[in-house]
Amino acid sequence: MVRQFAAVLGAISLVSLAGCAATYCTSPLGESPLPIVPEEWDGYWFLPDGPVFFQVEDPARGVLLVAGIERHHRNNETPGAPAPLLKLATQKVYLRNSGEWIFASLQPPNSTDTKFIFFRLKKQDKMILAWAPNTEKFAELVRRGELPGSIDDKGNVTLGSLRPTHYQKITSGEYGVLFNWDNPLVFFRLIGP
């Protein structure tokens, strides 16, 4: 399971759980950019790992800039080298929709790859719920040819170019629950613009 959104947007340091496969896409997931109203998104949001700041970068293209503080431990640094324990980190998040569904896509930090991780979002006033994809279920759909994509030797799934019929398969419920509903990431808005 991917808990990367929690770590990236909580501390902006997306990290997969050790040994777990992840689901990726080759471009931001969704059929069209989600128009964003800055007054509804800009501000401080709280996660279990601490606060982050959302700023709408491009309202028409559905692009958010998210900033947070990464915490570094000195024992991970070069011995004897002074290193800061805190670092400001930022991440672009692309919001796109397919019907009533909203998807958030972002590239893993420090990645030279062009893959994106993605989440399903639901925004309700001052709260955002985010669900990671269920990699096993997406892998099964790729194996059966229902969705374009590939599965590597570690079980990571990379979705290919999706058409409207593929989005229908993802959002309809026809193939079961494709996201990890039992473990959502919850953002609470603390301060607006």
Give the phi and the psi of residue 140 in degrees, each rounded to 5: -60, -40
pLDDT bin (cut points 50, 70, 90) of residue 57 is: very high
Contact by Cβ (8 Å): 5, 132:
yes
pLDDT at 13: 32
- Residue 184: other Cβ atoms inside 10 A: 18
- Residue 13: other Cβ atoms inside 10 A: 21
Query: Which residue range is the domain that position 97 belongs to?
Result: 4-191
Measured CA to CA, the distance from residue 31 to residue 193 in angstroms comes to 29
How many domains does the chain contain in total? 1
Q: Which two tokens stand for residue 20?
A: 């777990």
Measured CA to CA, the distance from residue 72 to residue 174 in angstroms comes to 43
**Model confidence, pTM:** 0.84
Contact by Cβ (8 Å): 27, 117:
no
pLDDT at 48: 84
Contact by Cβ (8 Å): 63, 56:
yes
Contact by Cβ (8 Å): 43, 192:
yes
Contact by Cβ (8 Å): 188, 180:
no
Q: What is the pLDDT of residues 7-44, one digit of tens each?
A: 444 333 333 333 488 999 999 999 999 999 999 999 99
Measured CA to CA, the distance from residue 29 to residue 131 in angstroms comes to 14
16: nearest Cα among 5, 29, 30: 5
How many residues are given for the chain? 193
Measured CA to CA, the distance from residue 44 to residue 191 in angstroms comes to 5
Q: What is the pLDDT of residues 60-118, one digit of tens each?
A: 999 999 998 877 665 555 666 666 678 888 899 999 999 999 999 998 776 777 899 99
Contact by Cβ (8 Å): 128, 47:
no
Cα atoms found within 13 Å of the Cα of residue 49, Cβ hemisphere only: 19
